[in-house]
Structure 1
Amino acid sequence: MEYNILESVDLNDSNIYKSFTNRYFSKRYILNVGGIENNDIMLMFHSNRITLLSLAPSHFFFKKLDNYSLNFTIGEVDRLSNLVKGKGKKGGQMLTPKSAICKVQWSDGTSFDVPCCMKGTLIEVNENLVKNPELLREEPDADGFIAIMLSSIAISEATKNELLNHEEYLKHVNSSC
């Protein structure tokens, strides 16, 4: 009797091929940041306190299909020059919840800032977005994340507990449609 293992797996099952972020990060959402409608941010928390910053799928950015670019220089601070060293991630730029990580600029001249929405340290920005900004639109919860941040255990847990989890977010978004 011959057994073909590939026949025992449903290759169309999306649970088998979850992205890295879907497998190891818990998604949390902040709606209408700064009082701006649909300025929705997604923070993805890993158990090791690493947090990925991205735009939530309901963000107004995804409704405008114009060409855009990302600018990581905010005021006099160049987020691309952030340099951390060692196990303790020394030297990272300190962030407050209102700290802007980047500015999204559309070809028509309009723009908006992306705030980090939590207190912590900037570990790095996603330099792949500089080379390929379309990742932000195509894969916002995977390769298109904006930045990696690190905070204390207490801040990370408190922030996570204050925000909407994925199910609550889906209920809110579906009810407002």
Structure 2
Amino acid sequence: MNFPSTYIQRNFQHFYHFKKDEKENLDQYLYLHPNSIVVIGLTETHQIFKSKLENFTISFPILKSEKQNFKQKNKKKKNEKLFVTPETIICEIKLSNEKTIPIFSLVYGTLCERNENLIKNPNLLIEDPYEKGFIGIILLRKEKHLDSKQNFQLEKGTNFFTEKEFEEYKLNIK
């Protein structure tokens, strides 16, 4: 897929999360802006693209316990924040066969925005995954991911790759 030169393409570092050994491709992208904002979405190698599904829904679950925890910590409604870890499910894709595909946040940070447009129009996820079909925006926790020189560091053992490595991966799975 050839990308037009957009703001995201010019100003964000591109990282890709994929698991080479897994049967199901739960591949995601992570775009990092210099101000520690991260945009998360699905790559065209994700299983939802391969299945060419037409009938699916998208939801953004907030567990009641999470909601209660962050309401108690912050008395004012405008200060409510949802802190996420790499294991936090920020989105679920529900297929017509009742199977649910979780989408994880991939990083430590504060969830700033979930793309609510996906609830009304889930096909944005497939039609424009790298711009209008993004899943969410997270403010990165600097102490977890940035070194002393402000270079982006991922936790050891995570499967994040550069754009070049991702292109090689795409060639190998076809």
Distance across 1 between alignment mates of 2:38 and 2:154: 11
Match 1:173 to one of 162, 170, 174: 170
Q: Does 1:70 align with 2:94?
A: no
With over 3 angstroms needed to count, the CA separation of the structure-2 counterparts of 1:77 and 1:100, relative to structure 1, is farther
Structure 1 residues 167 and 22, CA gap change in structure 2 (3 angstroms): same
In the alignment, what sits opposite 1:158? 153
2:104 corresponds to: 115
- TM-score normalised by L of structure 2: 0.77
Equivalent residue for 2:43, pick from 56, 61, 80: 56
Instruction: Give the deviation of 1:45 after TM superposition.
Output: 0.8
Q: Alignment partner of 1:61: what SS? A: helix
User: Any stretches of 5+ residues in structure 2 without a counterpart?
Assistant: 72-77, 147-151
Task: Give the Cα–Cα distance (whole angstroms) in 2 for the partners of residues 56 and 18 of structure 1.
Answer: 17
5+ unaligned residues in a row in structure 1: which ranges?
1-13, 84-88
TM-score in terms of structure 1 length: 0.76
Count how many residue pairs are aligned between Structure 1 and Structure 2.
157
Cα distance, 1:36 vs structure 2:
5.5
Aligned counterparts of 1:67 and 1:77: Cα–Cα separation in 2: 30
Q: RMSD value over aligned CA atoms?
A: 3.0
Alpha carbons 1:33, 1:39 under 8 Å: kept = no
Shift of 1:34: 10
The structure whose Rg is larger is 1
Q: Is residue 72–residue 78 contact of structure 1 (8 Å, CA) maintained in 2? A: no
Post-superposition Cα deviations, 1:115-153, rounded to whole Å, max 9, x if no partner, equal 111111101101111222111111111111000001133
| Whole-angstrom CA distance in 2 between matches of 1:41 and 1:31 | 7
Identical pairs, percent: 29
The equivalent of 2:9 in structure 1 is 22
